[in-house]
Amino acid sequence: VGRFIAARYPRARTAIVAGSTARDERTHTSDIDLLLIDDDLFADDTQASEAATFTFEGEIFEVFAYTAAGFETWANRGVAQHRPVIVHMLVEGVPVRSGPGLDDLRARWHAVLATGPVLDETESRIRRYVITDLLDDLQDGTDPLERHVVAGLLFERMAELMLLTDGQWIGSGKWLPRRLRAWSPQRAEQLSAPLLAGDIMGFAARVGEELELAGGRVQ
């Protein structure tokens, strides 16, 4: 990691390794997630951020690079979307270069993560409307492929609503079930078990129960 930073981003004063590498959970397909923050990162003074993939010494690096202002912009955007990926990288990752003010920056954003997202009534109703519509489609559908696709979408939307209703951050891809299980192993199992077993109607029934807990159907 140090050699990559020296070769590609030598002016980076803050560098944090995140993801499976930071957790010591790498697999043979894992890349190295790297967060960089420094006002002198880019040759172009107008550039504030960069997301890029590099191959270096046989490793794949997924780089998220920001000026201080660029990080603030994208971090706040992630918070607004309830999915602050780079904030998790900052707070939970392992620093390999600790620039000025890093401890204060991590402490400030740690407090934001600890507070959790806020789901207002308008967004709750919109999310419940989408879930209601998908649930009706699933229960009324007869085409196996359509039901499979709808069930997958319904799991995602319902899992997100379960988390947000309780003030928990959401995730995408593999991170959504991970966050659901970390929040409540029991309710994650209750939602996922019928889906994994191919019990579509059982899955629909469980979604209906969770939807009621989150505020009920919205037509």
- In this predicted model, what pLDDT tens digit does every residue of 143-171 receive, in sequence order? 999 999 999 999 999 999 999 999 999 99
Predicted confidence at residue 30, as pLDDT, reads 79
CA distance 59 to 134: 41
Confidence band of 25 (pLDDT split at 50, 70, 90): confident
Angle at alpha carbon of residue 204, lines to 209 and 170, rounded to 5°: 70
* Token pair of 156 as six digits: 């995602």
Q: Report long-range pairs for 147-150 (Cβ below 8 Å, ≥24 apart).
A: 147/200
Gap between the Cα atoms of 216 and 219, Å rounded: 10
Output the CA angle 164-158-195, nearest 5 degrees: 140
Q: Give the mean pLDDT of 176-192.
A: 97
Q: Cα–Cα distance between 179 and 176 in angstroms, integer?
A: 5
The average confidence (pLDDT) of the chain is 95
Q: What is the pLDDT of residue 199?
A: 96
Q: Which amino acid is at 110?
A: H
Q: What is the pLDDT of residues 48-74, one digit of tens each?
A: 999 999 999 999 999 999 999 999 999
Percent of the chain whose predicted confidence (pLDDT) is above 90? 91
The reported pLDDT for the residue numbered 113 is 97
Model pLDDT, residue 48: 96
In the predicted structure, residue 117 carries a pLDDT above the cut 80: yes
- pLDDT at residue 28 in the model: 77
Per-residue confidence (pLDDT) for residue 12, from 0 to 100: 94
* 80-99: pLDDT as tens digits: 999 999 999 999 999 999 99
**Cα(83)–Cα(40) distance, rounded to whole angstroms?**
27
> What amino acid occupies position 81?
Q
Once rounded to an integer, what is the mean pLDDT over residues 107-131? 97
